[in-house]
Amino acid sequence: MTRRDRALMQLAQAETRAENPEVREHIRAAREAIRAVAPTGLQECPACGRVGVPEQIAVHDCDG
């Protein structure tokens, strides 16, 4: 996993835990900015926001 992938995953976790809508919006914008610079090939679960390789997302324990 690259540092960029790690950053995206950390941001995804932060977004799911942030309770302030403005904070969530900033996190979401940061993730989009990172992704725009360099696509990762990672997939995001639409239900819980978890980010990982497609094989992981397909089998993850979803809490969304």
Dmax over CA atoms of the chain, in Å, equals 32
Residue 7 burial (10 A CB sphere; 0-12, 13-18, 19+):
middle
The verdict on 58 binding Zn ion (CB under 5 A) reads no
Residue of the chain from 1, 47, 53, 58 that contacts Zn ion (CB under 5 A): 47
CB of 49 to Zn ion, least distance (A): 7
Asked if 43 interacts with Zn ion (CB under 5 A), we say: no
State which amino acid sits at residue 34: I
Residue type at 12 in one-letter notation: A
By the rule CB under 5 A, 45 interacts with Zn ion:
yes
Site residues, Zn ion (CB under 5 A): 45, 47-48, 50, 62, 64
